[in-house]
Copies of this chain bind each other. A is one copy, B any other.
């Protein structure tokens, strides 16, 4: 910019005013403006973001702390966030949430803090008390996406999905197909997963369906976890005729394990997933699952984080919580209960 000013024979401040279309725009002579613009273009001038940020301008960086980008669902969420941020001129900085030690995780997050205008937490951070504490006292907006229900407290503005609505739709579908012995497979810890489990339990209780203890199966959220879940459930005296999986990844594992054992899906066993990842349409059979409006949810989260609603200032109120409705996508992994099972 110094060079531009020198080449144009004007002061830096003039160049700054012109290039920023300052509020006092009308008060700069057209001749000078054009000359400066031309020279700036010719010299290939680019503003230096750090210098601006040093002056207090927003860094246009949004921190995204994701538990596991490898999870196809979160990958889609990040994709959506990248698109949404791009629209607003922001860039996404990936926070790293894989550190084993709480300390390291917190440290990483705090580092992000320095660069970014806001932080978006994607997925819940059960067990990361330290991280959450540090972020609570951080001087920037923090927004949580898919952070589990308010049952578990709500430290930040939150965007969530109505887990009960999704689970109810899935279970309505299964019961309408005649299923009564419906098992559940899901992770044991994450808030957002526990919400689905609770909704499952409440539905069963309300509908008077059998709630055998073994019908709730806690496994890691992987293909292997799904396989483990199936073999556990097959060991029960009263085998379920349908299984509700907390995530599509688990449903994949269930389908895979069923096929390996020669159990027909959906002829002998119906399976429902949750997430509707892109590959859910490509399983054999294709997966009946619950879809969430990822794009809209992410957009809402980004708006809370860097939008001009000024959430941080409303000190007295509890942080806002935006809830979206999921949709059941019926494909071919569910069918009528087998007469003789």
A contact residues vs B (CB 8 Å cutoff):
46-51, 53-54, 59, 61, 64, 68-70, 72, 75-76, 78-79, 82-83, 85-86, 91-96, 98-99, 108, 110-115, 223, 226, 249, 252-253, 255-256, 259, 278-279, 281-286
Scoring A108, A114, A284 by chain B CB atoms within 10 A of each residue's CB, the highest score goes to: A284
Main secondary structure of the interface of A (DSSP, over half): helix
Nearest Cβ distance between residue A241 and chain B, in whole angstroms? 20
**Known contacts A252-B282, A279-B279; is A69 also within 8 Å of B59 by CB?**
no
Contact of A79 among B68, B79, B108 (CB under 8 A): B68
A98 touches B70 (CB 8 A): no
Name the residue on B nearest A72 (C-beta): B72
Name the residue on B nearest A74 (C-beta): B75
Per CB-CB distance, the 9 closest pairs between chain A and chain B, nearest first, are: A75-B75, A223-B282, A259-B284, A92-B94, A252-B282, A86-B96, A50-B50, A50-B53, A284-B284
A93 touches B93 (CB 8 A): yes
Nearest Cβ distance between residue A81 and chain B, in whole angstroms? 8
Contact partners of A283 in chain B: CB under 8 A: 252, 256, 283-284
Contact of A111 among B91, B94, B108, B223 (CB under 8 A): B91
Name the residue on B nearest A44 (C-beta): B137
Contact partners of A51 in chain B: CB under 8 A: 50, 54
Contact partners of A252 in chain B: CB under 8 A: 279, 282-283
Contact partners of A75 in chain B: CB under 8 A: 69-70, 72, 75
A78 touches B72 (CB 8 A): no
- List 15 A-B residue pairs with CB atoms under 8 Å apart, sorted by A's residue number: A47-B114, A61-B93, A61-B115, A69-B69, A69-B78, A69-B79, A70-B75, A82-B96, A85-B96, A86-B99, A91-B93, A91-B95, A94-B94, A249-B282, A283-B284
A85 CA / B252 CA spacing, docked (Å): 31
Contact partners of A76 in chain B: CB under 8 A: 70
Contact partners of A113 in chain B: CB under 8 A: 46
Name the residue on B nearest A104 (C-beta): B86
Contact partners of A98 in chain B: CB under 8 A: 82-83, 86
Contact partners of A279 in chain B: CB under 8 A: 72, 223, 249, 252, 279
Name the residue on B nearest A92 (C-beta): B94
